[in-house]
Structure 1
Amino acid sequence: MRVIVIGGGIIGAATARSLSRRGIDVTVLERGRNVGGTSSGGEGNLLLSDKGPGDELRLTQYSSTLWPVVDAELRDELGPAFPSVEFERKGGVVVATTAQGAQPLHDFAALQRTAGVDARPVSRDDALLLEPHLNPAITAAIHYPEDAQVQPVIMTEALIASAKLSGAQFFENEAVLAGIRSPGGELVGVRTTRGTHHADAVVVAAGPWSGDVSEALGLSLPVKPRRGMVLVTSRMPHRIFHKVYDGDYVGVVGSSNAALQTSSVIETTAAGTVLIGSSRQQIGFDTRLTVAVLRELAQKALRLFPFLSEMMVMRSYGGFRPFMPDHLPVIGPDPRLPGLWHATGHEGAGIGLSVATGAMLADLLAGAPPALDAAPFSPARASLAPFLAPFLTPFPDSRAA
């Protein structure tokens, strides 16, 4: 079996690794440089704490079981010379900073516990034992021991290196221009800026650019870029020990509002820098630095950790999350075009869901039953139907096989 994966970020890399380890012939096409898009602009969050009961949480719980396994496999495959992916189940602490925010935080945690999430209410004193430098004026706190973190760029590079060991081929600076169809109408390859590639299946894993790729293949896919920005402090001795954020973050994640939304999300990296987020805004692929957004992130961060007022900001960066209108990723075959598959639309959870997405797609392509029901993530799901148009064009730029 031959499979083309379009996209050299963490979803494409995880998919390529899972497929190639099954003996499938994999070709990955990236229009720029691998790890040059969304995967390089994230914080590396592997979170259960921000998800309520439902399909995305179940996918996250499945992925959470895979992370320690994949981490161990990569260390064994790549050896000590390869940099650590910095996988750490450091846990999360979610707090309320207002009186009115305390009860909703406890209610959300109680709902999560019904779905198997380890969500532990803690007193203010216990929260300060977990995070000694946290603002003591918090009104409620929940400890999530299952939350984890990884270095997203190194992790993506590790998945690529592992996939190459199993025979996968990666081509950079090669953009997909159109599809190649068989006489029967199946998608059997792609035409690119450098030539043609044939395959039994084509997987679109291009993150927020997946809509553009799908359009090049003649189909609509309602993936939109949702911009986020992050502040990075200079290095310091570790004074923040968990993923810490304000409970308002949960509402922002689940919102469909295109306007700017910010909330406090703070963590320390292994190198000692502090990452300060988070913002969400639908402004297309506008990459301009927005000082007002960065100012708002900094102001909200001080509500959680006042000592940060003493620290220097070293840099800032931004990225684009692949937003789907029904807030679920798309994983599986497209019912409109045989041979076309999708692995995209994870919004801000793509790093955490990458290993589960790759495993699920590999099972589906190999005809094996996946470990988790894939139907909720299918492009054919009912919640996506209003957004899926039939063929945009009769493939005027495609070439029959």
Structure 2
Amino acid sequence: MSSVFEIREHTIECQHIRQYARATANSQDDVLHLAVKQYIPLDNQNPKEGDITIIGACANGFPKELYEPLWKDLYARSKSSGFRIRGIWIADTAMQGASGILNEQLLGNDPAWTDHVRDLLHMTNVFRSEMPMPIVGVGHSYGGNILCNLALIHPRLLSTLILLDPVVQEHASTVSGPSPAWASTWRRDFWPSRAEAEASFRKSKFYQTWDSRVLDRWCKYGLRETPTPLYPKEKGVTLATTKYQECFTFLRPSWEAMSEDGKTVVKRELVPDMDPGFLTKFPFYRPEPPTTLKRIAELRPSVFYVFGSLSDMSSPEACKYKLETTGTGTGGSGGAKEGMVDGVRLEGIGHLVAMEATEKCADAAAAWLRKEVKRFEKERMEYMEWTKQSMEAKTTFSEEWKRRIGPPLKPIPQSKL
């Protein structure tokens, strides 16, 4: 990566007050921190207007560094696709990866996906001088959900979204059987040595479909040496993101708020964001996937979906719904019929599209950006043309305004000034 990007690391404070009280262990006023990486192309140290900034958002349980091969592949396609990258920004969520290690003495057991939405918004304000428009969001899995919600709370912040098999659906992970949450609950999380852990990963069928560059980074950044608070005496390695925080992110318990049969909410204050239509998922729920699905029609940025054909998130019916609905509502972009929404389905690829098909994801993203940067430039030039007017013209009523608002009922006396 060093041959392509200059990499800068930053640590910033997270948004004040988390969505759920038990997100922090000791005090609701605890200050959490965010570990951020910035990737600057070495051949674009003096960026120009119109060069794009990318904000990335990772999948649950995976460190931000796993997306470096995707950034490198996208950079390799950028010039031939007619765009230049100003910089790429990505952060581990507060309870995961390097951020989780920074915060491990403060974290509780109740993270909200929307906490990271607000943390990213704060990040754009902290680094605003390095993030001029256009800003492109690239999010994978639950990171795609996060970027949708960032666009919903600030519709003009992101000019386009590239969503890699996003978790935007009617339900969270299933709560029984071989679901991701079930698998992670019982996963191994300690090895006597890094070499033994790496050998285990490379032998596992789960990782054998991954791009080798991504797997190399998982072996490097997905582990940390012990001792840690969870393993204070053992010498070896454990997961950089604890399996506990990964599972708390997958699902939120609802049993304390429900009747014994799971059919009635008895403590509404514990599950204020639970949709009554999803009580069948007792004793867990996750509010963000269905609430986001309900609002995709409101998305203002253009959207490009990259679906995995083997993904449980991306049945043909689910893909069709997203493509037909995204951006079509009040406040939205106009959707596919306006050329603002499109997508591709990667055959033979599962939910982990960014790990399994890194180059195909970069191909699809670059092709979309080739088209979108022309729209960005057109909008920028239209604004620049407007700025050339006098300050009086830009800050007072135009003749068109007066004509359309209608004449006064009485003559307006002339000001003595």
TM-score range, shorter chain: under 0.3
Of Structure 1 and Structure 2, the greater strand share is in 1
TM-score by length of 2: 0.23
Of Structure 1 and Structure 2, the greater helix share is in 2
Say which one has the larger Rg: 2
Does 1 or 2 have the higher relative contact order (CA < 8 Å, sep 6+)? 1
